[in-house]
């Protein structure tokens, strides 16, 4: 049995392919476990007080609208700084479109037609790269932003930029990689039908960093993605006079009677 | 005063080049045992402070989602870096909101995150050593918790939450701030921040009544501890004696008088301000809030109203329902009992501005606006009112109602530059527990952005009156206005303008007699 297992790898998969296959599952596992833990942590951490920041929505619908504007349009960032907004938004929208386009590599078999609609957004990769270059430039040249930057802040941008540029190189220059092979490899990862992957360096760099990025999610500032949805200044309804808001620990403290209402009435005066 | 330069007022507000260490220092005077113990904090810096501080950080981030999420979510985009008035006025980079948070975040990363434990240099994680603790004490007392940064942060990260958490950690290890903790001691034992006992308060109010009667010929009353009154007024104690605050109190009294409503103040809970918020302590904040609940129950009032005070209104509007059940919609028995007593036809608590605005809308007040014709007025949105509360239950009511009240009583009103008012308002520079003389340098520097906007409307519109509805703003402006060549008396209460224009022609109902009767019958029972 065992020799047969190795024989399979020897015959069908290169060492490089094995490495990347393993890296994918490892990164994915770190991502899933890590993100689940973080989201669970945010979820179960109480919010003792009402702290929405103006302009506050007075209804739940208002909160949904506010959050949508924040997540889709980066409303607060727009108010704050037009350049950071422009580069930041370009990068994020570019990345989103690029990610949607990548579904075709991971989709086993023929792609549903709806994905054809995304084809014209091939050029989104440029938005992403331009955005990233803008953000890096800003981080280096604006003194205040440089002051608050740690090495990891530059590395994160650099990582994304290399992913972006290596992708652009494959899509828009003559350095195309074997798309069929990529599709077999990527979709194989999802349906456990492992296959070899192309070995051009720019492709390997591209997926190495992309897989690493996945693993970095739960231990880095990429936590801003779940974070925004849990941000009390953005997701609370401003209705504190109408509805009593109380956290589990405060209620417990209250019920355990640090101050019992009737006993204090009329006393000490 | 210390040797520092008072910032020049530029024509346009410029973002300064960073100037490391300008505001480095020992921070405000430290609290001592006498003020620490009553609040349950150690009297001096404890021996194992590092250990205790780290475990307190762990506790806080597990009790406050804001702290946990805000520490993780920051991407260092820099959007907030030019939003803090203390940075704009001082140019010390540690006064940039993100850098201020990073004092706390770097320790969080070192002790609570994978990256910070194993790759501290890479992610800027740092140890909580003596130097770091000193930086905490210094720079977290250069934050007025005004939340302007939070408005502009793409994730809504609120430095106030971090600064409150840091101050609570500091208190827990025995490194408290004298100003806040001394005041809190008085507030939770005597009932107000000034330590004014009942007889003194009663005398002050009687003097005020005499003064008004002499001046206007009308017997405006300032009732104290009147059982069975309809409204309990909770106002910052500065209103009782300080200038210009007291003119606001005169205004409240006149409005109550005209409405013919029965009202009272409480000598047991004679303070609207709640410095428990500034030091970030839920428990201290709650014990101050509970005095008000007790006063409301003892005096059997059906409405609770709050005077002109910024953070008092934040605590009242946003937190009272949580802390003590003043509000509506309760589901637990303590809060339900209180809420049954309160008249659900009115918002509980209600701001004095909401009350006056409502009376104006209903045509119950008449004004001679020309009484304020000698003034050209602008309005300073106080940060806690502007960014953390609402008025009138309508979107942005906290911006609209005060302006409408002002416009109803005076003919000449102009707003300052849009980016310096409403949700983007610049703090007066003295909020958040910074209103103490030992912090005068940061107070003056932090006032610069507001002063700059004020200078502009002075130049272009000949504004000579600045209205604020916050006791701290009023005190701070009285001090800093002259440093920037303004008249220190240009700062007034909104209700001072009301007081000057109100026409006191309606016959006074027999309010006092009515109340005396109720009180007697209540006692006889």
State the Cα angle at B27 between B26 and B28, rounded to 5°.
Answer: 125
Residues B304 and B368 in one domain: yes
Residues B348 and B403 in one domain: yes
A65 touching B, CB under 8 A? no
Residues B220 and B323 in one domain: yes
Q: Going from the N-terminus, what domains does chain A have, and what CATH number goes with each?
A: 2-243 (1.20.950.20)
Query: Measuring CA to CA, which residue among B306, B320, B389, B386 is closest to residue B353?
Result: B306
CB contact under 8 A, B122 and A259: no
Query: Measuring CA to CA, which residue among B263, B162, B236 is closest to residue B385?
Result: B236
**Residue B509 falls within a domain, yes or no?**
no
pLDDT (average), residues B353-382: 97
| Cis check: omega of the bond before B349, within 30 degrees of 0 | yes
Higher pLDDT: B12 or A18? It is: A18
Straight-line distance from the first to the last Cα atom of chain B, in angstroms, rounded to the nearest whole number: 59
Tens digit of each residue's pLDDT (9 = 90 or more) over A132-182:
999 999 999 999 999 999 999 999 999 999 999 999 999 998 888 899 999
Query: Measuring CA to CA, which residue among A144, A268, A203, A252 is closest to residue B189?
Result: A268
| pLDDT at B273 > cutoff 90 | yes
Residue A259: the pLDDT is 52
User: How many Cα atoms are found within 13 Å in the side-chain-facing hemisphere of A111?
Assistant: 17
State the Cα angle at B409 between B404 and B413, rounded to 5°.
Answer: 65
The answer to whether B401 touches B487, Cβ cutoff 8 Å, is no
Residue A194: the pLDDT is 93
Which of the residues B40, B62, B74, B78 would you substitute to probe the A interface, choosing the one with the greatest number of A C-beta atoms within 10 Å? B78
Residue A256: the pLDDT is 80
User: How many Cα atoms are found within 13 Å in the side-chain-facing hemisphere of A169?
Assistant: 15
Residues B99 and B234 in one domain: no
**Residue B219 falls within a domain, yes or no?**
yes
pLDDT (average), residues B327-344: 91
**Residue B8 falls within a domain, yes or no?**
no
Matching residue, tokens 């091939």: A122
Contacts of B318 in chain A (CB under 8 A): 49-51, 240
Residues B116 and B57 in one domain: yes
User: Which residues face B493 on adjacent strands?
Assistant: B468
pLDDT (average), residues B381-403: 97
Number of domains present in the structure of chain B = 2
User: How many Cα atoms are found within 13 Å in the side-chain-facing hemisphere of B448?
Assistant: 27
ipTM of this complex > 0.90?
yes
Contacts of A49 in chain B (CB under 8 A): 282, 318-319, 322
Residue A29: pLDDT band (50, 70, 90) is very high
The alpha-carbon gap from B509 to the nearest alpha carbon of chain A, in Å, equals: 30
Of B155, B268, B394, the CB nearest to A224: B155
pLDDT (average), residues A23-44: 98
Residues B158 and B242 in one domain: no
A4 touching B, CB under 8 A? no
Which of the residues B19, B65, B97, B292 would you substitute to probe the A interface, choosing the one with the greatest number of A C-beta atoms within 10 Å? B65
Which pair of tokens denotes residue A32?
């899933």
Residues B214 and B129 in one domain: no
CA distance B432 to B429: 9
pLDDT (average), residues B6-26: 91
* Three-class secondary structure of residue B307 per DSSP: coil
The 10 Å Cβ neighbour count of residue B335 is: 24
A228 touching B, CB under 8 A? yes
Residue A120: the pLDDT is 81
Query: Measuring CA to CA, which residue among B320, B498, B342 is closest to residue B409?
Result: B498
Residues B167 and B197 in one domain: no
Which pair of tokens denotes residue A56?
């506050």
Strands (E), B321-444: 350-351, 377-379
**Residue B11 falls within a domain, yes or no?**
no
CB contact under 8 A, B327 and A143: no
Contacts of A41 in chain B (CB under 8 A): 68
Which pair of tokens denotes residue A57?
């929505």
| pLDDT at A250 > cutoff 50 | yes
Whole-number percent of chain B with pLDDT over 90 = 89
Q: Last residue of some domain: B176, B193, B224?
A: B176
User: Which residues face B305 on adjacent strands?
Assistant: B233, B350
pTM equals 0.93
CB contact under 8 A, A80 and B152: yes
State the Cα angle at B86 between B85 and B91, rounded to 5°.
Answer: 110
The answer to whether B160 touches B432, Cβ cutoff 8 Å, is yes
Tens digit of each residue's pLDDT (9 = 90 or more) over B294-321:
999 999 999 999 999 999 999 999 999 9
CA distance B57 to B68: 10
Whole-number percent of chain A with pLDDT over 90 = 79
| pLDDT at B51 > cutoff 70 | yes
**Residue B392 falls within a domain, yes or no?**
yes
Of A38, A48, A138, the CB nearest to B64: A48
Residue B525: the pLDDT is 35
User: How many Cα atoms are found within 13 Å in the side-chain-facing hemisphere of B523?
Assistant: 8
A245 touching B, CB under 8 A? yes
Q: Give me the DSSP letters along B2-27.
A: -S-PPPP--SS-PPPPP-TTTT-S--
**Residue B301 falls within a domain, yes or no?**
yes
| pLDDT at B62 > cutoff 90 | yes
| pLDDT at B372 > cutoff 80 | yes
Higher pLDDT: B75 or B243? It is: B75
The answer to whether B135 touches B27, Cβ cutoff 8 Å, is no
Which of the residues A33, A54, A151 would you substitute to probe the B interface, choosing the one with the greatest number of B C-beta atoms within 10 Å? A54
What are the C-alpha distances in Å from B373 to residues B377, B413, B464?
10, 10, 11
Residues B75 and B120 in one domain: yes
What are the C-alpha distances in Å from A161 to residues A81, A155, A254, B419?
22, 10, 52, 35
| The B350-351 sheet, strands edge to edge | B263-264, B231-234, B303-306, B350-351
Q: Which domain holds residue B155?
A: 33-176
Residues B348 and B274 in one domain: yes
| pLDDT at B279 > cutoff 50 | yes
| pLDDT at B524 > cutoff 70 | no
Residue B455: the pLDDT is 96
A255 touching B, CB under 8 A? yes
Backbone φ and ψ for B231, nearest 5 degrees, come out as -110, 135
Query: Measuring CA to CA, which residue among B138, B158, B163, B152 is closest to residue B23?
Result: B138
**Residue B17 falls within a domain, yes or no?**
no
Straight-line distance from the first to the last Cα atom of chain A, in angstroms, rounded to the nearest whole number: 87
Residues B94 and B116 in one domain: yes
Residue A7: the pLDDT is 58
Residue B515: the pLDDT is 47
Sequence-separated (6 or more) residues with CB below 8 Å from residue A204: A16, A20, A197
Residue A2: pLDDT band (50, 70, 90) is low
What are the C-alpha distances in Å from B338 to residues B258, B290, B324, B342, B351?
28, 11, 9, 7, 19
């Amino acid at each position: 049995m065992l020799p047969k297992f190795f024989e399979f790898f020897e015959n069908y998969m290169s060492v490089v392919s094995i490495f990347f296959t393993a890296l994918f599952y490892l990164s994915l596992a770190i991502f899933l476990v890590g993100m689940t833990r973080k989201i669970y942590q945010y979820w179960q951490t109480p919010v003792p007080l009402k702290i929405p920041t103006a302009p506050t929505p007075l209804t739940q619908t208002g909160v949904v609208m506010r959050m949508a504007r924040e997540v889709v349009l980066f409303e607060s960032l727009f108010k704050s700084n037009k350049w950071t907004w422009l580069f930041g938004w370009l990068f994020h929208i570019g990345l989103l479109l690029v990610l949607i386009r990548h579904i075709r590599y991971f989709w086993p078999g023929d792609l549903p037609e709806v994905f054809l609609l995304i084809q014209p957004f091939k050029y989104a990769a440029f938005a992403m790269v331009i955005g990233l270059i803008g953000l890096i430039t800003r981080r280096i040249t604006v003194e205040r932003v440089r002051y608050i930057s740690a090495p990891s802040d530059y590395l994160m941008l650099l990582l994304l930029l290399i992913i972006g540029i290596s992708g652009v190189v494959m899509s828009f220059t003559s350095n195309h990689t074997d798309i069929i092979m990529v599709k077999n490899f990527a979709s194989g990862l999802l349906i456990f039908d492992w296959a070899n992957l192309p070995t051009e360096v720019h492709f390997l760099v591209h997926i190495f960093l992309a897989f690493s990025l996945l693993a970095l999610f739960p231990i880095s500032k990429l936590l801003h993605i779940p974070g925004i949805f849990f941000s009390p200044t953005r997701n609370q309804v401003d209705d504190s006079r109408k509805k009593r808001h109380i956290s589990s620990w405060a209620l417990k403290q209250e019920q355990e009677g640090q101050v019992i209402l009737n006993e204090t009435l009329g006393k000490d005066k | 005063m210390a040797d520092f330069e008072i910032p020049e007022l530029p024509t346009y507000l410029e973002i300064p080049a960073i100037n490391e260490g300008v505001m480095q220092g020992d921070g405000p005077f430290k609290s001592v045992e006498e003020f620490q113990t009553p609040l349950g904090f150690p009297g001096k810096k404890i021996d194992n402070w590092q250990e205790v501080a780290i475990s307190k950080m762990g506790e806080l981030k597990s009790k406050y989602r804001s702290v946990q999420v805000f520490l993780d979510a920051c991407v260092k985009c820099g959007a907030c870096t030019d939003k803090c008035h203390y940075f704009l006025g001082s140019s010390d980079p540690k006064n940039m909101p993100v850098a201020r948070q990073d004092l706390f975040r770097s320790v969080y990363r070192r002790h609570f995150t994978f990256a910070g434990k194993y790759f501290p240099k890479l992610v800027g994680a740092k140890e909580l050593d003596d130097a770091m603790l000193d930086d905490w004490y210094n720079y977290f007392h250069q934050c007025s918790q005004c939340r302007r940064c939070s408005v502009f942060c793409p994730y809504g990260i609120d430095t106030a939450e971090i600064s409150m958490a840091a101050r609570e950690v500091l208190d827990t290890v025995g490194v408290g701030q004298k100003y806040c903790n001394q005041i809190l001691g008085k507030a939770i034992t005597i009932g107000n921040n000034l330590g004014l006992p009942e007889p003194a308060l009663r005398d002050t109010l009687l003097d005020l009544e005499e003064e008004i009667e002499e001046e206007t010929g009308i017997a405006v009353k300032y009732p104290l501890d009147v059982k069975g009154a309809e409204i309990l007024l909770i106002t910052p104690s500065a209103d009782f004696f300080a200038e210009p605050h007291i003119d606001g109190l005169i205004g409240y009294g006149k409005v109550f008088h005209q409405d013919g409503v029965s009202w009272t103040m409480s000598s047991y809970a004679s303070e609207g301000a709640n410095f428990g918020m500034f030091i970030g302590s839920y428990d201290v904040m709650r014990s101050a809030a509970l005095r008000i609940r007790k006063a409301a129950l003892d005096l059997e009032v059906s409405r609770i109203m709050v005077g002109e005070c910024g953070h008092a209104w934040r605590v009242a509007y946003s937190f009272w329902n949580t802390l003590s059940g003043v509000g509506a919609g309760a589901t637990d028995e303590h809060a339900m009992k209180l809420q049954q007593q309160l008249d659900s036809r009115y918002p509980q608590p209600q701001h004095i501005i909401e009350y006056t605005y409502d009376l104006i809308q209903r045509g119950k007040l008449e004004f001679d606006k020309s009484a304020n014709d000698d003034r050209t007025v602008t309005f300073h949105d106080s940060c806690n009112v502007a960014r953390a509360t609402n008025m009138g239950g309508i979107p942005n009511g906290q911006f609209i109602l005060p302006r409408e009240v002002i416009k109803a009583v005076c003919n000449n009103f102009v707003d300052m530059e849009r980016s310096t008012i409403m949700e983007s308002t610049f703090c007066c520079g003295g909020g958040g527990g910074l209103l103490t003389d030992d912090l005068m340098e940061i107070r003056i520097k932090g006032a610069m952005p507001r002063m700059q906007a004020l200078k502009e409307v002075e130049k272009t519109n000949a504004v000579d009156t600045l209205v604020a509805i916050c006791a701290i703003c009023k005190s701070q402006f009285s001090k800093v206005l002259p440093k920037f060549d303004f008249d220190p008396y240009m700062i007034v209460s909104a209700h001072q303008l009301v007081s000057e224009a109100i026409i006191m022609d309606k016959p006074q109902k027999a309010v006092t007699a009515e109340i005396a009767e109720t009180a007697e019958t209540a006692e006889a029972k």
